[in-house]
Amino acid sequence: MIQIIDLHKSFGPNKVLQGVSLNVKKGETLVIIGQSGSGKSVLIKHLIGLIKPDKGKIVVDGVDITRLREDELYKTRRKFGMLFQSAALFDSMTVAQNVSFGLERYSKMSQKERRKRVAESLAMVGLRGIENLMPHELSGGMKKRVGLARAISYRPEIILYDEPSTGIDPIRADAINDLIIRMKKEIKITSIVITHDMVSSYKVADRIAMLYQGKIIETCTPEAVKESKNQIVQQFIHGSAEGPIENW
């Protein structure tokens, strides 16, 4: 469903992506791991056209989205829901307005239907009765979950999670893992999850891909990752300071 082909992106002299190629199949959950600063966020921002690549293609359902005009891009963006690493809630709007923002633009729901969907989406991430709070009244973890509720509110086909469990307590984080798995089973959602949390990677992933020095150096099932012969992968999943990865 998504094919990333030889993607390159630099910011000035900083070569972040140097030929990333990756396929994501419909209905699967792909976890992307990699060091801080390796370009994971930059990579998934390419998928919804937030960042334009210097070189390479991103094909979503047969369409190369790097070549699309703004108005055509709008249609493919509808397919994606994105949870930002910083939650990125609109701080001048209430929680309810945040969650219904995408609904207002991507669906033709009546106001009543929207209100119901907002409550539903918030319940899915374990939040109730906070519709009228402002983002600054929420804890960091609650913001993250409201951000997730906002991303899933319009029922996109593909959800991009940028570190869903960072800043959330372990129990809530596991509830989010369950949510990712449930959405895959129940509504066949395709997910791309960025995480540093190996436990949750093993739990939710169909496949794990590791980004290192601007390239995907390994893509395989969670079981195979544990057995990987690649020293860099081994060092990363065991979280050890000793190994081939130096500049950490």
Partner 1 sequence: MKYQRLPLVFYGFFQGMGEVGLLFSRTVKNIFKKPWEKDIFLQQVEEIGVRSLPVVSMTAAFGGLVFGLQTYIGFHRYVGAGTEAYGGPIISLGLSKEIIPILVGLMVSGRVGSAIAAEIGTMKITEQIDALFSLGADPNKYLVVPRVLAAFIVLPCLTLYGDVIGMIGGFFYNVVVMGVNRFIYIKNTLLYLELWDITTGLIKAAVFGIVIAIIGCWQGLKAEGGAAGVGRATTRAVVIANIMILILNFFLSKALPASLGG
Ligand X SMILES: Nc1ncnc2c1ncn2[C@@H]1O[C@H](COP(=O)(O)OP(=O)(O)OP(=O)(O)O)[C@@H](O)[C@H]1O
How many residues sit in the footprint of partner 1 (CB under 8 A)?
24
To the nearest 10 degrees (0 to 180), the angle between helices 111-124 and 140-152 is 130
Positive or negative torsion for Cα 113, 115, 118, 119: negative
How many residues sit in the footprint of ligand X (CB under 6 A)?
12
**Should residue 50 be labelled a site residue for partner 1 when binding is judged by CB under 8 A?**
yes
**Should residue 214 be labelled a site residue for ligand X when binding is judged by CB under 6 A?**
no
**Should residue 88 be labelled a site residue for partner 1 when binding is judged by CB under 8 A?**
yes
Site string for ligand X, 34-63 (x = CB under 6 A): x-xxxxxxx---------------------
**Should residue 41 be labelled a site residue for Mg ion when binding is judged by CB under 5 A?**
yes
| Closer residue to ligand X (CB): 14 or 247 | 14
CB of 162 to ligand X, least distance (A): 7
**Should residue 11 be labelled a site residue for partner 1 when binding is judged by CB under 8 A?**
no
| Closer residue to partner 1 (CB): 88 or 175 | 88
- Category of 240 on φ-ψ map: left (φ > 0), alpha (ψ -120 to 50) or beta: beta
d(CA 38, CA 41) in angstroms, rounded, equals 9
Non-local (6+) Cβ contacts of 161 within 8 A are: 83, 148, 180, 191, 192, 193, 194, 195
Given a contact cutoff of 8 angstroms between Cβ atoms, the answer to whether 204 and 181 are in contact is yes
Residue 39 binds which entry of partner 1, ligand X, Mg ion, none, with Cβ cut-offs from 5 to 8 Å by kind?
ligand X
d(CA 115, CA 88) in angstroms, rounded, equals 21
d(CA 146, CA 125) in angstroms, rounded, equals 8
Of 30-38, 68-76, 129-137, 225-233, the segment contacting ligand X by CB under 6 A is 30-38
d(CA 146, CA 83) in angstroms, rounded, equals 9
d(CA 189, CA 129) in angstroms, rounded, equals 27
Residues 90-129 that bind partner 1 (CB under 8 A): 90-91, 101-102, 105-106
The residue ranges that bind ligand X (CB under 6 A) are 11, 14, 16, 34, 36-42, 85
The residue ranges that bind Mg ion (CB under 5 A) are 41, 85
